[in-house]
Amino acid sequence: LFHSSSIVLAESAPADSVAVLLDQCILKNEQLNSELCSLRRACASRPPAPRPRHTLGEKTNTATSCFEIAQRKPNATSGVYYILTGDRVMQIYCHLESLGRCGGQGWTPLMKVDGRKRTFSYDSFLWTSKDVYDVSAGQTGFDDKETKLPTYSYLPFTKLCLVFRPAAGQEKRQVLIEMGSSETLYNLISANQFNSTNVGRKNWLSALSGAALQPNCNKEGFNVRAGLSSWSLRARIGFLGNNEADCITADTHIGVGLGGMGCGSHFYRMSAGNGRFSDAPNCSSSTAIAAAAFVHVLAQ
């Protein structure tokens, strides 16, 4: 008997009945093989299931900078994204909005400096090494937490934005530094060689309300300093002013990574802001003002 695609032969079944059942089995087998082949062809012609798409800036699809995110995702909003810098993947707060006078979109933070502290004073080893400092603060945007990120050492940029905020206020003002070629901040600063910029006196003075500089010298750039002595005014990124027709005895400065003394004996004791005198261009220890500021350094 033929049952459920199987053959059951009774002991007394005649030979011609067996032959008929075998023919039916062969036919059934061919039919099943044909159906199987049809299924295989259908599967082969079916397009593969699409792989899940990962948004740029996620851990599975890191970006090289916040600028890349802004360019490839114009509608993206500011927030924390995954950035590959050097050989390290890390979360960084990307500023994807335009930043005042710096303009543009897609600013990657390099460091944040509290001018009231000496963490990033001119002579700090953090300026000339690839060491980082509290990288978790790179996720918190415009606040008072100091940080130095791997982007300082490994992210080439053509534009640098310094965002100044007075220690006793909330108003943010920007200074834009445009470079002639792409470079990392580490390469610009670590060799302790002076590299000039062309921001201009007026733009530096606009960084802080009430900022003042003596009228002469007007030297600006990276690793800018008045002289080689330990007391000479200096700035890792900034501008010097003097009341005399030289830079050797400069008494006022503005910028970030500050050091030195003004008026020959007054030590400003701040790492970012504006060192000036209330009776500028004259100077005296009694009229010296250390206008410390928070400075956020961002690149594009």
Q: Summarize pLDDT for 201-229 with one digit per residue, the tens.
A: 999 999 999 999 999 999 999 999 998 88
Average pLDDT over residues 95-102: 96
Return mean pLDDT, the chain.
Answer: 86
Q: Which residue has the tokens 């600006």?
A: 220
| Res. 115: pLDDT tops 70 | yes
Helix (H) or strand (E) holding 259: strand 252-259
User: According to DSSP H, which parts of 46-116 are helical?
Assistant: 66-72
Average pLDDT over residues 161-168: 93
Q: Which amino acid is at 49?
A: A
Backbone angles phi, psi at 178, to 5 degrees: -105, 130
Q: What is the pLDDT of residue 65?
A: 97
Q: What is the pLDDT of residue 228?
A: 83
Residue pair 220/204 in contact (Cβ under 8 Å)? The answer is yes
As given in the structure block, the two tokens for residue 202 are 């007026």
Between 230 and 129, name the one with better pLDDT. 129
Q: In whole angstroms, what is the distance from residue 177 CA to residue 248 CA? A: 24
Q: Which amino acid is at 3?
A: H
**Cα distances (Å, whole numbers) of residue 202 to 206, 237, 275:** 6, 16, 16
Q: What is the pLDDT of residue 268?
A: 79
**Cα distances (Å, whole numbers) of residue 12 to 8, 9, 18, 51, 129:** 12, 8, 10, 61, 97
**Cα distances (Å, whole numbers) of residue 217 to 17, 224, 253:** 117, 11, 10
